[in-house]
Structure 1
Amino acid sequence: MSRTQPPAGTATAPPTDPATPPTDSDTPSAANQKLPMAALLALAVAVFITSLTETLPAGLLPAMSSGLHVSQSATGQTVTIYALGTVLTTIPLATATAGWRRKRLLLTAMAGFAVANTVTALSSDYALTLVARFVAGVAAGLAWALLAGYARRMVAPALEGRAIAVAMAGIPVALSVGVPAGTFIGQVASWRTAFYTMTGLTVLLLVWIATVVPDYPGQTAGGKIPVRSTLKVPGVTPVLFVMLVFVLAHTLLYAYVATFLDHVGMGDRTDAVLLVFGVACLISIWLVGAYISRHLRTLTVASTLLVGASVAVLGAFSHTHLLVYVAAALWGLGWGGVPTLLQTAAGQAGGEAADAAQAILVVLWNVAMAAGGIAGGLLLGPAGVGSFPWIVLALLVPVLAVVVVSRAHGFPVRRAAD
């Protein structure tokens, strides 16, 4: 999902792909209780590439600005144009490619990243770079509209949550490890080398996908995605609202976390704080994957409360550096599993319209991420970065309220079927 999300989310991140319900010929036997780890890890790397491609310019901004001969503000728009490509094209392309075989579509999307990152690495022209970044955003929309659904179709129903959790592990890894690593490559070599590295990783992934990832049919009839009618399906709108506001709140703080840490005298410890956040995210993903099949509602409430506790600590006790690390751990424990939780909730709520719910989720996830970055920029001057934790806490109140109220649909009390 994009950053975070998505999606993920990157950016986050998707419950089912635009295809007909799986049949006995294209789904695993319920007796098969093992996760196809090689194939799922290939999807996780795909998620990693989509998330890192979007956020990589943030760590390379000064060097890219110099190389493209434009201001850092203009260079920052390479992230915005990526999100715009995803927002504008996800639903139309999901409709247009509904009949494609799933493996063919996944390979096409990832090949798009290889082309876009190569052009970005080669380009010294700002306009051409923007075009390449837009293409990368289009590829992200294609990928996010099918990745989580792909993971679900590989396993028996009882393992769907775990499968999605493995696939979505690429998001926190990209944010906590990928961006610092890309920045390091940019510092010791060049920003162009960082993008070439992304191309090389994508080429290897294409071989990996071709070798181990199973194929599934696309939609055989009627490819149109009924967006309006999907929003009327009980449970879909609450899930989308929770996703929109939760991702907005998270992005508002995450996009300016370096600025916040500098504000509290920890600017030189940003990498350490993000490492704590990333490790906690991975723990969260494991826990969600283990318990989501029966406790989706409880886990969603817990995630909201953990992120709320984190920002409350940041707002009240940021002068104590040890508590900043504690807050980072709470934040990661709360946020890491959110893409999996919301994707699974959207898929379950959507039912037969899960493909449309997924396409809408991908679009709104990127809208929320873009809005979080823009809102943070607008608030930075008048409100100051010190106010961001309290703003995030205020945004989480309606998120928690909607989750609690949506007892029958969206985040039901009943257990999901095994």
Structure 2
Amino acid sequence: MATTQLPTPAARGRSPFPLPSLLALATAVFVTALTETLPAGVLPGMGGALGVGESAAGQTVTVYALGTAATAIPLTAATAGWSRKRLLLGAMAGFAVANTVTAASTNYPLTIAARFLAGVAAGLAWALLAGYARRLVPAGQQGRAMAVAMAGVPVALSLGVPVGTFLGRVLAWWVPFLAMTALAVGVIGWIAAALPDQPGRADGDRTPVRRALALPGVRPVLAVTVLLVLAHTVLFTYVAPFLDRAGLGTATDSVLLVFGVASLVAIWFTGVHIHRRLRWLTAGGVLLIAAAAALLGLWPDGSPLVHLAALLWGLGWGGAPTLLQTAAGDAGGAQADAAQAALVTLWNVAMAGGGVAGGLVLGRFGTGALPWTVLLLLVPVLAVVLGARAHGFPARRT
């Protein structure tokens, strides 16, 4: 089968904005993000079917993150010279297999193994997706292209997680996972038909991550990534038990819907302004998440205020993937792919840490301590963003 190649940079500058290709990437992002977060909305039913408690069921998010963290950098290095399109198709096939096994399994170790496989597929996909989107367009359109591709994240949260939560409650907890299998198969066909290929690195470099980490701008971006994702995951993984303990268990899907819709607004706003205001968008997002955590900590059982907190949380979090991946790509320069692989790895280390830390906080102090844990973690995040004005989050992007 003939492979469609990307046009030259000069030709790209004269070409229309490649929306169909970017939407294919956005759908792949949607599959990745929803597979990652889906257990958060069905923890009670999933744990009951597997014969484990909610904290143990929450570790299905943790092991997913561990699979990504353990494999993103080595897989990126080992496949540096491979076709990007074939790698992305392989990652989507991995999601189809993993979600099918998760839906069919009533055995906790088997479910954990399937979730680890999904994490491996995610590590491969996330290391590819940001660079793919950036290379489809000229430099002046890269922020917009990233915003379109990363729109799959808030769509997964605004539509996927609430719908998955609803289906899990009305039908069965495993139904949303089986639906994800069907979606992964569909996106495989779309990518195969519509997405232009990108070649791997001609030099076959197997140590780009080490060089990327030596760049001064990469380090603050990675530090912010670890702490911000850790803060988010501590609460988001256990949002269903948090709301249930507050007497708002039936509002889980509506709270997640508000969160997701706000995330969509945030990623649109980010796409419009990221080229000139990356630094202030990042700092503003941190402050919005902090305000949401304070509301949840002070008034966890007030439905209007909880929904307001979800709104602020979504506005703060929605642009985070685009902002951090753009910052990493800018700081990485010629080593942008390696910087993205490091970001993906640490993102998922933080997710795993958030799942474990949130489970420990939940078990020892109860759900009421989760928002205050988030606030504590966000203090150094804001400090690093504001302090990295020369490298990482510069006052003016080049």
TM-score w.r.t. structure 2 length? 0.91
Number of matched residues?
394
Question: Post-superposition shift, 1:387?
Answer: 2.8
Question: Post-superposition shift, 1:329?
Answer: 1.3
Q: 1:294 to 1:74 in 2, by over 3 A?
A: closer
Structure 1 window deviating more from structure 2 (62-71 vs 397-406): it is 62-71
Q: Do 1:96 and 1:223's aligned partners in 2 also have CA atoms closer than 8 Å?
A: no
Separation (CA, whole Å) in 1 of partners of 2:124 and 2:63: 16
Separation (CA, whole Å) in 1 of partners of 2:239 and 2:53: 22
Note the residue ranges of structure 1 that are not aligned, 5 or more in a row. 1-21
Q: Which residue number corresponds to residue 275 of structure 2?
A: 293
Q: Do 1:313 and 1:327's aligned partners in 2 also have CA atoms closer than 8 Å?
A: yes
- Opposite residue 240 of structure 2, the aligned amino acid is A
- Opposite residue 307 of structure 1, the aligned amino acid is I
Q: How does 1:16-415 map to 2 (within 5 A)?
A: 25=8, 29-32=12-15, 34-65=16-47, 67-68=49-50, 74-318=56-300, 320-415=302-397
Q: Do 1:27 and 1:153's aligned partners in 2 also have CA atoms closer than 8 Å?
A: no
Q: 1:326 to 1:161 in 2, by over 3 A?
A: same
RMSD: 2.4
Structure 1 window deviating more from structure 2 (61-70 vs 114-123): it is 61-70
Separation (CA, whole Å) in 2 of partners of 1:74 and 1:128: 14
Residues 78-121 of structure 1, C-alpha deviation per residue, up to 9 Å, x if partnerless? 33332221111111111111111111111111111112222333
Runs of at least 4 residues off by over 6 Å: none
Name the SS for the 1:145 alignment partner. Answer: helix
Name the SS for the 1:217 alignment partner. Answer: coil
Separation (CA, whole Å) in 2 of partners of 1:228 and 1:152: 22
Q: Which residue number corresponds to residue 8 of structure 1?
A: none
Question: Post-superposition shift, 1:231?
Answer: 1.8
Question: Post-superposition shift, 1:58?
Answer: 3.7
Name the SS for the 2:38 alignment partner. Answer: helix
Q: 1:297 to 1:383 in 2, by over 3 A?
A: same
TM-score w.r.t. structure 1 length? 0.87
Question: Post-superposition shift, 1:303?
Answer: 1.1
Q: Do 2:270 and 2:281's aligned partners in 1 also have CA atoms closer than 8 Å?
A: yes
Q: 1:28 to 1:283 in 2, by over 3 A?
A: farther
Separation (CA, whole Å) in 2 of partners of 1:360 and 1:122: 33
Relative to its length, the structure with more helix (as a share) is 2
Q: 1:404 to 1:270 in 2, by over 3 A?
A: same
Separation (CA, whole Å) in 2 of partners of 1:75 and 1:397: 29
Separation (CA, whole Å) in 2 of partners of 1:324 and 1:120: 31
Separation (CA, whole Å) in 2 of partners of 1:333 and 1:212: 32
Q: 1:191 to 1:264 in 2, by over 3 A?
A: closer
Separation (CA, whole Å) in 2 of partners of 1:272 and 1:192: 20
Q: 1:169 to 1:398 in 2, by over 3 A?
A: same
Q: 1:235 to 1:328 in 2, by over 3 A?
A: same
- Opposite residue 160 of structure 2, the aligned amino acid is G
Separation (CA, whole Å) in 1 of partners of 2:362 and 2:101: 33
Question: Post-superposition shift, 1:332?
Answer: 1.0
Structure 1 window deviating more from structure 2 (258-267 vs 226-235): it is 258-267
Separation (CA, whole Å) in 1 of partners of 2:41 and 2:300: 24
Residues 315-371 of structure 1, C-alpha deviation per residue, up to 9 Å, x if partnerless? 334454323222221111111001100000001011122121111110110111111
